[in-house]
Structure 1
């Protein structure tokens, strides 16, 4: 490690004189010095360890641990002084000195809980096209991860634009200024000026995305100092901004891939072939330049490896949810009454983006195939490019069994999940989307709502494995209509599927575990691999939950 040659271990008890040992005290001490300066003293038993940046301190730490194990009453580490920039010994450093396996997770966890915020603190710079108060999946993912990293002792700054999604208009109370700062739920947020439009043509979207790259680079000198950069995509240009800042600031960067661009664009639009090829070259360039890559599905990892990306630098951190935010609500009756839905009606709900990738026009066609007297209703809550098309289809077919609502605040979503009987997750039928796992499915599972999955690939596999819903062929309105009829006729299985989904979320898809995986990738980019477990340490979990 850098600066290791500057560190030396102070004389041990065996090499000190009896007078020196008497001066230190009967319990003894072992300190570390850098250029003659004492860094810290840990008192306890015959040994005491100062935690330094040098791996050589692992031996003294081991001695201190072994003594503390023998005598549980020994006090914990006491810091006397700490020079600027010094950090605690890493778990990897300790293990490198203890091949015999004397260190155990509980022992390391007890030390980490006391020292982790100082020992492994990083300055993290996150680039995201969307952030709170925008109601969108990446906003929630970045926000919830950032709060956990902050609670674990790291310094987090998010760089984004003025909130304007989904209507392309800046939110009340905000202005599209060149540079502004605020604190959102404890996280420092820097908003840079971008091109914002409420008429999202392909050219204007390009201008929007690329202006974020320019603004981030232009104001990089005003951004707080960082140790690592995390750029979350899509859009792909956010990752480009991450690489640009990495070059300008000379810091490692991590590329978080939440969706494969331009593969997704190619599947739903008709962009010129030359533009798709240019975007594919840019995508591959960024994969190769990233120090680490985070993907949200195993399928994404497999595709990147097939394209020649080193599997060793890819981490899978799936989408997830905070189960405590999506507990079952008791407002079922009130919400259904506001929607004029009778108690005996099977209410199917879709909450999220209404875009080309979701192909919700297929769901509208399925509702049109049902008998008008059937006790089945579809509720769609959200915004997106395809919403005008849905409104047109509903009007053309005079459908009274479909209701469209605007976006609702996230804190109200549990009430709407309580009101529905089944949650619809829908994706366009295309091989590109077989590797996609929509985040909305985890919200439904957390509330105990069974899923109706109109998608292929990994998302359908999760539903089948967890037995938390039923799957139907995407792009087939007749198959979807038949599934709705079967669910309406036999509702005895709904409660069982809902409970299975809630169990699966708590077990496998919590934000806590995913935040630790992303943090592990960032630590690896900075050369401090193996330290992310501090997020799940019992000493830090209470603070993490409180921050969330």
Structure 2
């Protein structure tokens, strides 16, 4: 089966789709990736790439076709908007040209924000006469409003119209959380073909840790340490983490927070930590995915947080699967689905999103637990990840869904021709 993956993001950017595509390829699918020039999350195009022009490369035997892209920059709504629009335009105009003379059995769209990247994929699927499956990672237009990126109600209404169009011309919508189902059905008057398809966790290969990782792991392991890893952006309620850290520091609690990653709020966080004198909070920077298992294993607990917004209650953050697989207790400063998973797994503790006092209480409760109880939580987390989020299982599931779509599509064509 020949599959075209359309995604604004792909290797060497760090997203779960990278491992899934490799796994599909290893199972015998012929995958071609249409993507942009890598620039996430730092905002500038990675070394060795140019923002302009098209290019072709091979990633572990996977053909990767890259389109010109306006770099997203840092903390600039206008640059981010241009970044989104540039991929839509390049995909719609240049996509057919770089894919000329090629045929595909199915088109698969990996759609973290922006969901609008599905627009060129719909056009390409029509040109190639192939069915299209859309793997939604964020609910639009709700997430635009929740993050504050768009506040104008007329603009949000226009985006909702475009999103309806996308769902209307998508053969199947895959959702990483069952809570996504109702909002999408409401937007499509119940016509969407929706299937639950969660994000997978990926067992990173065992390699020599990059410089500085072993020293950082030793520092993390030297006391009760809470590790937050990933994007340091507006959605993650980072002010709540700092407020909780300040409360615990003032109480004299022997607890440290490690905010590992980078993002649009990195500079603000650094300034706040210094301004408040939060000597119990460290920002070691961003590390490669292969380094994270070592750092996760050193942590006393792993923290996932989102802002107190209705939209985020629908979401299971993609990092949660990796946290559970690491076999360490999880603190879920979340509402809704993400907190439900942690509670259902018996993998840690949850508290209300956006509440610094609740987060401080949750951290304190773990810090006061016996090591046997913490180990039990970690064991539960690992077992739950294996049962629900393994890459091998989810690869097979996706292959079956794509085969089903192709068969249905061929059947429809035969009915029309008959």
Establish whether TM, by shorter chain, passes 0.5.
yes
Check whether the contact 1:294–1:518 (CA below 8 A) recurs between aligned residues. Answer: no
1:156 — aligned with what?
Answer: 31
Check whether the contact 1:255–1:292 (CA below 8 A) recurs between aligned residues. Answer: yes
Which stretch shows the higher mean deviation, 385-394 or 293-302? Answer: 385-394
1:447 — aligned with what?
Answer: 326
Q: Deviations over 1:427-483 (max 9, x none)?
A: 111111111001111111111111000001111111111101111111111111122
Q: 2:292 aligns with which of 413, 426, 434?
A: 413
Secondary structure of the 1:369 match is helix
Q: Deviations over 1:244-287 (max 9, x none)?
A: 22233333212211111221110120531111111111111111
**Distance between the aligned counterparts of 1:385 and 1:148, measured in 2?**
31
**Distance between the aligned counterparts of 2:39 and 2:221, measured in 1?**
37
Q: Deviations over 1:215-261 (max 9, x none)?
A: 12223132132121112222122111211222333332122111112
- 1:214 Cα shift? 1.8
Q: Are the structure 2 counterparts of residues 406 and 524 from structure 1 closer, same or farther at C-alpha, using a change threshold of 3 Å?
A: same
- 1:176 Cα shift? 2.4
Q: 2:263 aligns with which of 373, 377, 384?
A: 384
Q: Are the structure 2 counterparts of residues 297 and 339 from structure 1 closer, same or farther at C-alpha, using a change threshold of 3 Å?
A: closer
2:378 — aligned with what?
Answer: 498
Which stretch shows the higher mean deviation, 208-217 or 423-432? Answer: 208-217
- 1:395 Cα shift? 1.7
- 1:528 Cα shift? 5.2
Q: 1:469 aligns with which of 339, 348, 360?
A: 348
Which stretch shows the higher mean deviation, 302-311 or 418-427? Answer: 302-311
- 1:308 Cα shift? 3.4
**Distance between the aligned counterparts of 1:305 and 1:225, measured in 2?**
31
1:357 — aligned with what?
Answer: 235
Structural mapping, 1:325-404, within 5 Å: 325=204, 337-338=215-216, 341=219, 345-372=223-250, 373-404=252-283
Matched, 1:209 2:68: no
**Distance between the aligned counterparts of 1:330 and 1:180, measured in 2?**
32
Check whether the contact 2:136–2:174 (CA below 8 A) recurs between aligned residues. Answer: yes
**Distance between the aligned counterparts of 1:336 and 1:445, measured in 2?**
22
Matched, 1:271 2:151: yes
Q: Are the structure 2 counterparts of residues 347 and 155 from structure 1 closer, same or farther at C-alpha, using a change threshold of 3 Å?
A: same
TM-score, scaled to structure 1: 0.69
Please tell me whether Structure 1 or Structure 2 has the larger radius of gyration of its CA atoms: 1
Q: Are the structure 2 counterparts of residues 313 and 359 from structure 1 closer, same or farther at C-alpha, using a change threshold of 3 Å?
A: same
Q: Deviations over 1:199-222 (max 9, x none)?
A: 452232222112112212223132
**Distance between the aligned counterparts of 1:230 and 1:340, measured in 2?**
42
Structural mapping, 1:164-203, within 5 Å: 164-203=39-78
Check whether the contact 1:178–1:215 (CA below 8 A) recurs between aligned residues. Answer: no
Q: Deviations over 1:411-431 (max 9, x none)?
A: 111111122110000011111
2:413 — aligned with what?
Answer: none
1:240 — aligned with what?
Answer: 119
Secondary structure of the 2:352 match is coil
Q: 1:225 aligns with which of 103, 118, 135?
A: 103
- 1:188 Cα shift? 1.1
Secondary structure of the 1:159 match is strand
Check whether the contact 2:146–2:309 (CA below 8 A) recurs between aligned residues. Answer: yes
How many residue pairs were aligned? 400
Check whether the contact 1:292–1:524 (CA below 8 A) recurs between aligned residues. Answer: no
Check whether the contact 1:377–1:402 (CA below 8 A) recurs between aligned residues. Answer: yes
Check whether the contact 1:230–1:255 (CA below 8 A) recurs between aligned residues. Answer: yes
- 1:353 Cα shift? 0.8
Secondary structure of the 1:229 match is strand
Superposition RMSD on alpha carbons, in Å? 2.2
- 1:311 Cα shift? 6.3
Gaps of 5+ in 1: 1-121, 530-548
**Distance between the aligned counterparts of 1:184 and 1:242, measured in 2?**
21
Check whether the contact 1:288–1:309 (CA below 8 A) recurs between aligned residues. Answer: no
- 1:340 Cα shift? 7.4
**Distance between the aligned counterparts of 1:164 and 1:522, measured in 2?**
30
- 1:163 Cα shift? 1.1
Q: Deviations over 1:78-97 (max 9, x none)?
A: xxxxxxxxxxxxxxxxxxxx
Secondary structure of the 2:123 match is helix
Q: Are the structure 2 counterparts of residues 296 and 172 from structure 1 closer, same or farther at C-alpha, using a change threshold of 3 Å?
A: same
**Distance between the aligned counterparts of 2:353 and 2:322, measured in 1?**
21
Check whether the contact 1:123–1:227 (CA below 8 A) recurs between aligned residues. Answer: yes
**Distance between the aligned counterparts of 1:166 and 1:335, measured in 2?**
20
